[in-house]
Amino acid sequence: MILTGRPDGPALGPPEGLVPYLDTVARMIAAASEQVGDAVSIDPLQLLGERAAISGFTRRGPISCGGGTRLLQGYDDWVGVSLTRGDDWELVPAWLEVDLDVDGWDALAPIVADRTASELVLRAGWLGLPVARLAERGPSSGRSAVRSGRLARDPSPVPIGGLVVADLTALWAGPMVGDVLACAGANVVKVESSSRPDGARRGPAAFFDLMNGRKRSVALDLGSSDGRATLRRVVDAADVVLTSSRARAVEQLGLDPELSVRSGRTRVWLSISGYGSGGRDAERVAFGDDAAVAGGLVSWDDDGPMFCADAIADPATGMVASAAVLGALADGGRWLIDVSMADVAWDLAGPTVPARDLDAARPTARRAVGRGPALGADTDAVLAELGVA
């Protein structure tokens, strides 16, 4: 609540189904992890606010807590626009079809107000900009938040102790899954590009430590054929693979999730993306705040929608995906699991709970178990251990 609402107004309640839903997910994580390894107990509401606690974020209404995403009024509907990467602003003139530099949000808003939401989303998709129409997901999208396919049956649970997890994810949702699996007893290896490492390394070190302190680091030159070949050998040696890239990017690395699960060592392959790995939206870019907008996971007052908490689709997806992977290991067999951040957000959306009878507490963060590994600190040791050096 303290992260939701206008900066000069009261804290707002969450959507009514959010807390019960995430409590259920936490119980699923605890039960499945205990079945395959060490029991993992999480406080889901604490996890939602950890980054804000570390970064000192607070509520900013239609501006995301981190400041890089805005809710803007289009001609016919609201849109969430994320401009957080260095070159995003350079694409804005092409996105809006204007022959002028758009040098800030104040200049952007009136131009967006003259465009329809569907036009804004379509053109953003062509350019790789994270833009979402408010509540565009839901039953009409024909998707569920988690799609899983069991490609081979084995009735026995898979003990997680000693399993190798290749964590190819970045930022928040995917790394959270890797951390939960490490808590349960897995050997989690964080695999990054040596030239384009996890962007979370540029943020607060304390948050990076929370997500990655239990992992070892492998860095590879993924721009070279040798680096991609080594990546494929690492993946072939892993029992669980975690990715948070769009399907095309995974394919460009020479990876084939279905082949790895059907004929390789991999027991579970998890793909996290903004809108799922299949369908017309599979190549759209998304981050936690705009994915939440797509799912309608916002809070409302009389003046309009506001962001609910901090990039909430990221940690919520991390929890849901953790439960899915642990559940697959508990059920046995071999699995492909596809998780859509926007559809997780839809599952959590709903009417805003009145806040008059609720107390807003400041977010807190857990204490990290250790420092996150330096980039590539364990490359030689891990590759030798896996027999892929």
Q: pLDDT value at position 149?
A: 86
The strand ranges marked E within the chain are 69-73, 78-82, 131-133, 146-152, 164-167, 187-193, 216-220, 240-243, 268-273, 298-301, 304-307, 334-340
Query: Is the pLDDT score of 140 beyond 90?
Result: no
Rounded to whole angstroms, how far apart are CA atoms 109 and 104?
9
Query: Is the pLDDT score of 353 beyond 90?
Result: no
More confident residue, 104 or 80: 80
Q: Could you give the residue ranges of the DSSP H alpha helices within 203-312?
A: 205-212, 225-236, 247-252, 257-263, 288-294
Q: Which residues contact 236 (CB under 8 A, 6 or more apart)?
A: 260, 264, 265, 266, 388
Question: Architecture of domain 18-54+140-282+305-386 in CATH?
Answer: 3-Layer(aba) Sandwich (3.40)
Query: Is the pLDDT score of 351 beyond 70?
Result: yes
Query: Is the pLDDT score of 142 beyond 70?
Result: no
Q: DSSP string of 47-109?
A: HHHHHHHHHT----TTB-TTSSEEEEE-SSSEEEEE--STTHHHHHHHHHT-SS---SHHHHH
pLDDT in tens, 175-231: 999 999 999 999 999 999 999 999 999 999 999 999 999 999 999 999 999 999 999
Query: Is the pLDDT score of 256 beyond 70?
Result: yes
Return the structure tokens found at 193: 């590009």
Query: Is the pLDDT score of 109 beyond 90?
Result: yes
Across 6-19, average pLDDT: 90
